[in-house]
Amino acid sequence: MSELRVVPGGRHGQDRLHVCLPDGRNVAWYDREAGRVNLLSEDRREDVLDVLGPFLTGPVAVGPPPVPTPAELARLALPPDDDLAPNRPGEALLIALDRDPGPPRRLRPDPRRRALTAEQAVGEALDRLEGAGWHTLHSIPLPGGDRVHHLVIGPGGLFCLRALYARKQRVLVADPMVTVGRHEPRPLLRQVRADAARASHALTAEARAVLVPVGASDVDVVAPLREARVLRDTDLSQLARSGGVLKPADVEALHAVARDRRTWLRV
């Protein structure tokens, strides 16, 4: 009987099964997502495949671990406190509300909670693009107290998105002003273009500006927009249909740079 045992585990968001010796040393792992068994010792190939047999599904490549790409090496060297990838949608608002939840009773809803609802809705929609070769970062802090709500990197390019709470309200867009319901118009397109410009500067790549009204009853864009786009939260899947702008290696390299908090310190 083989002395090897299979231990489930995850690393960097990947679903893995580790093959270990009785003393805990790792001799191989099965990356289910990649469909690959990575061997640290070729001498144990048969034993590893035998113990993993019940867990293998579909075609599986077997061999030594692949050489890490420059993007993977950069990610591994990134200090946890500087890694923006774990940020949740609305991370900054979640922290602010945790520190100061406000009075339990208010005459009007806390605008921070409405903004959080919008960012979470957009974030959830964007996170669903991950399996199609896209990466999403949320709540990227910028100097001066500003932040990028969402940054999306994928085959279709680089997109900088700002979420706008507009539940059951009409949104009127007259560049650069945006009016939600009966509220005063605000120059939100100017803001999202500024966010995209700062992202372009930080990443030395063109970032396109997108405003996302969340839950709007109607969105009326009265004239063609300049260097910006308006997409309802229910239409964000359209981003995945675009392609031909970035190669997979470029996507990974940009994501590795963008997830580093230090990248954004001088924009």
Residues 96-103, mean pLDDT to the nearest whole number: 91
Does the pLDDT at position 191 exceed 50?
Answer: yes
Pair (200, 133) in one structural domain? yes
Pair (162, 77) in one structural domain? yes
Pair (48, 178) in one structural domain? no
Pair (102, 176) in one structural domain? yes
Residue 15: per-residue pLDDT: 72
Q: What is the SS3 assignment for 181?
A: coil
Pair (197, 84) in one structural domain? yes
Domain count, the chain: 2
Pair (52, 169) in one structural domain? no
Of 43 and 220, the structure prediction assigns the larger pLDDT to 220
Pair (141, 242) in one structural domain? yes
Q: Which two tokens stand for residue 36?
A: 């690959």
Pair (143, 218) in one structural domain? yes
Domain of residue 165: give its range. Answer: 70-264
Q: How confident is residue 170, by pLDDT bands cut at 50, 70 and 90?
A: very high
Q: Which two tokens stand for residue 82?
A: 């500087």
Does the pLDDT at position 219 exceed 90?
Answer: yes
State which of 63, 95, 112 marks the end of a domain.
63
Q: How confident is residue 266, by pLDDT bands cut at 50, 70 and 90?
A: confident
Q: Which stretch of 26-30, 181-185, 253-257 has the lowest confidence by average pLDDT?
A: 26-30
**CA–CA dist 210, 251 (Å, integer):** 19
Residue 25: per-residue pLDDT: 78
SS3 string of 83-141? ECCCCCCCHHHHHHHHHCCCCCCCCCCCHHHHHHHHHHHHHHHHHCCHHHCCEEEEEEE
Tokens 């995850």 label which residue?
10
State which of 42, 63, 84 marks the end of a domain.
63
- Output the CA torsion sign for 189, 190, 196, 200: positive
Residues 87-113, mean pLDDT to the nearest whole number: 90
Beta bridge partners of 153: 135, 158
Q: How confident is residue 76, by pLDDT bands cut at 50, 70 and 90?
A: low
State which of 48, 63, 78 marks the end of a domain.
63
Phi and psi at residue 184, to the nearest 5°: -65, 145
Beta carbons of 145 and 187 less than 8 angstroms apart: no
Residues with Cβ within 8 Å of 200's Cβ and at least 6 positions away in sequence, in order, are 158, 206, 207
Pair (32, 117) in one structural domain? no
Q: How confident is residue 136, by pLDDT bands cut at 50, 70 and 90?
A: very high
Pair (128, 259) in one structural domain? yes
pTM: 0.74
The rounded mean pLDDT for the chain is: 90
Q: Which two tokens stand for residue 257?
A: 């740079």
Pair (144, 174) in one structural domain? yes
Pair (243, 203) in one structural domain? yes
Residue 111: per-residue pLDDT: 93
